[in-house]
Structure 1
């Protein structure tokens, strides 16, 4: 056991750096072992690991056509999904409806 109270600041910093490297190395070995185990299971079931991961990956959504446009600046549009743009909020606060902003 190392008595940390007897080490100099330089020795403590070196020890800290060595421990960080050892942790990173350990995690890398564990990750590689887990991948190897998953590849064996995938192969037993007739797949490659890449095939399984490709099917479960999130596919990007296709862009949605805009439904609303800012009357003051038609280049500002909104699809109606997600958070309302400031210009939509301002128009609604001014008494307009979404139908008034529809393209």
Structure 2
């Protein structure tokens, strides 16, 4: 552990449970702030490196953020439709109640396929 970490641990040993929980909350706020600063610094360094090679950061990374990478941005079209109610289901995730009831009544799910 670092000197600062040792100091924090020693302080925490004399604190109540509630005080420690409050301190953790404050430390998490500081940590999020430091994380934002570190990300900003890393981005600036990466942009400088890309510029050194005559490129933009977007050219090197494929552009945009990495969240949701590999996912389509649109809605998934439904695969199944109830003939009477018009309710639809994409076929993803848990079966809706109406699909399960359809199958429980001895009918084939393929009858619902669009």
Confirm or deny a common fold (TM above 0.5).
yes
TM-align CA RMSD = 3.7
- The structure 1 residue matched to 2:95, chosen from 84, 88, 92, is 84
Report whether the alignment pairs 1:26 with 2:34. Answer: yes
Higher RCO, Cα 8 Å, sep 6+: 1
Which of the numbers 78, 82, 88 marks the counterpart of 1:70? 82
Long gaps (5+) in structure 2: 1-6
For structure 1, list consecutive stretches of 5 or more residues without a partner in the other structure: none
- How many residues align structurally? 98
Distance in 1 between residues matched to 2:38 and 2:75, nearest whole Å: 39
The Cα shift of 1:50 comes to: 3.5
Larger radius of gyration: 1
> What is the TM-score when the length of structure 2 is the normalising length?
0.54
Equivalent position of 1:54 in the other structure: 63
